[in-house]
Structure 1
Amino acid sequence: MTNANNAILLIRRAALPALAILIIANFAGYAVFGSNGILQYGDYRRLKAERSIQLAQLEQERDRLAHRANLLDPRRADPDLAEEMVRSELGLVRQDEVVIPIAD
């Protein structure tokens, strides 16, 4: 029985350090291979470059829309833009204009 007792005692003494090593290995694995790990750094740089391009396009579109909104300000509306919008939205034509239909 002394061999069995020695084996159980050995397992009890090794259990806590083995559990600690498994926990540390788990955290180390996630630090390297996880979704926020070291190996994902290149992917983050690629995504950042894509998002920077997208941000520049959105800022350009925002500036274009802000300029168009300023042109439509009721206090100082641009007559050409107002006429263009009325014609496109309502389909209005002046009496002296000729409309030529184009077949699709």
Structure 2
Amino acid sequence: MVTRTRLGRFFRVLGLYCIAAAMIAYFAFHAQHGNYGIEAGRALKEEIANLTVERDQLVVERTALEHRNHLLKSNQIDPDLLEELARKDLAFALPNDLIMILRR
């Protein structure tokens, strides 16, 4: 009878160890692969780097557009810029300009 009690206690302790090991494995797996795990952190860092590069490009583009806008708004409009816009937007050409139509 004493053997069964010791054997029962052994299996209970073994069961508790197995449950604890399963819980540790579960949490370790999700710490690595979960929504907030290590791999997700790496992906977020990559996305942050890509978005930072894109933001820097947009800042440069915006600065150029603001400068161009300032040239159009100032008291004395830049004649070269005005001529460029007229030629591009209004299809304006001088009589001595040579117009070449390219087929695409």
**Fold agreement, TM-score > 0.5:** yes
Query: Tell me, which stretches of 5 or more residues in structure 2 are unaligned?
Result: 1-19
**Pairing of 1:23-102 with structure 2 (within 5 A):** 28=27, 32=31, 33-95=33-95, 97-102=96-101
Query: Secondary structure of 2:73's partner?
Result: coil
How many angstroms does 1:75 deviate by? 2.0
Read off the aligned partner of 1:77 and give its amino acid letter: I
Read off the aligned partner of 1:47 and give its amino acid letter: E
Count, aligned residues: 80
Cα shift readout 1:49-102 (whole Å, capped 9, x = no counterpart): 11111111111111111111011115232111011101111111223x132323
TM-score scaled by length of structure 2: 0.62
Percent of aligned pairs with the same amino acid: 29
Give the whole-Å Cα distance in 1 for the aligned partners of 2:60 and 2:98: 35
